[in-house]
Structure 1
């Protein structure tokens, strides 16, 4: 696993990111229906921040990510999800919660304290013994991702899902288009990317439900940066 997770340069997706100097309020612990099942693989979920922020700029809860005062963000790390054969494990009971150091170390990749707390409670608690271990695994995976120029992609005429997958695969030679899932909203705007891994954190083909729209589906990318 250490060889798979060896660090490599990545294209920055956080522009002028600033971590708050003062105290960071810890998120209130979340809970949900506990599901414990055998882990069969993992999904590294990324979200296209400009699309997310289109209607959320005035929201206080999303101010860090969307106001532009503490950074401007492109593709952000949504989270690392353990997957199961039928149902995915989630909301595993734990007394451990993210500390301020955990949050500070990850706020430029995931610019939301609330989202960091949510991802640990729902997903990380079912695959790691501590928040620090969970965030380390997802951060190392994230740092190995190279992203194409989405601004340039957004200007391409007749852009489709196949072209977006190919652009991501070309930036990451170890991947193929079948290992890259896309999430579009009902109007065809890009919302996120799903990268599929096996238990050894090696890229694998995504299941059909994770792969998202077919290659011919038209895609629009909101630039909003």
Structure 2
């Protein structure tokens, strides 16, 4: 697998669970063969999908691409398709991030799945229709649906046009929610936000 950066082995200080908003990702990819499962509509329509579980480090750096000979089996990757509808993406998440967290890919995907399955997403279709929607409102709605999260523990990433791309949830080393640092927090609370519904 091609690396997009250097090998970086360092202590893990916490974790980020990144969830991508599929309608926005698929907006310009409906005919891309490499994204057919997620974006063609033949496998249904996806909402929030699991991008990955990432270990965090100190000083604005994070562990990545840690050496390993272990690879996830096709069966293990297939089991991720409901929450991460791309075997290639899931395999890359293991290679880049999971290898720096645990020794075995099945453990990485088990932990990712436990965290993912514990989440409840607000109705983003309804939220997208609210006048004056901003990042702070989305954070508040997510926190209301997911105690013990507080809005400060929810990072939001949008593209340059203000459309929601990703929600990044911040966890400590014990996998309990913690306040996001500035980098993971993303948009300011008062930043206008749009949510593409895929119509």
Q: CA deviation at 1:99?
A: 0.4
Using the alignment, how far apart are the partners of 2:155 and 2:148 within structure 1?
Answer: 15
Written as runs of structure 1 = structure 2, the 5 A alignment for 1:14-29 is 29=1
Match of 2:180 among 198, 206, 215: 206
**Aligned-residue RMSD, C-alpha:** 0.9
Q: Does 1:83 align with 2:56?
A: yes
Moved more, 41-50 or 65-74: 65-74
CA distance in 2: counterparts of 1:49 and 1:55, whole angstroms: 11
Partner of 2:171: 197
Q: Kindly indicate whether residue 48 of structure 2 is the aligned counterpart of residue 44 of structure 1.
A: no
Residue in structure 2 matched with residue 127 of structure 1 by the alignment: 101
Unmatched 5+ stretches in structure 2: none
Alpha-carbon deviations, 1:165-194, whole Å to 9, x = none? 001001012110000000010111000100
Cα distance in 2 between the residues matched to 1:128 and 1:224: 36
Paired with 1:98 and 1:59, the residues of 2 have a C-alpha distance of: 25
**CA-to-aligned-CA distance 1:86-135 (integer Å, 9 cap, x gap):** 22000011111110121121110000011011101100011011111100
Q: Please report how far the alpha carbon of residue 146 of structure 1 lies from its aligned counterpart in structure 2 after TM superposition.
A: 0.5
TM-score, L = length of structure 2: 0.97
For this pair of structures, how many residues does the alignment match? 197
* Correspondence 1:74 to 2:47: yes
State the TM-score, normalizing by the size of structure 1: 0.86
What aligned pairs does 1:1-225 form with structure 2 within 5 A after superposition? 29-31=1-3, 32-86=5-59, 87-224=61-198
Whether the 8 Å CA contact 2:80–2:87 is kept in 1: the answer is no
CA distance in 1, matches of 2:107, 2:44: 26
| CA–CA distance in structure 1, aligned partners of residues 53 and 2 of structure 2 | 17
Contact in 1 for aligned 2:9/2:64 (Cα 8 Å): yes
5+ residue gaps, structure 1: 1-28
Runs of 4+ in 1 over 2 A off after TM superposition: 29-32
1:71 CA displacement: 2.4
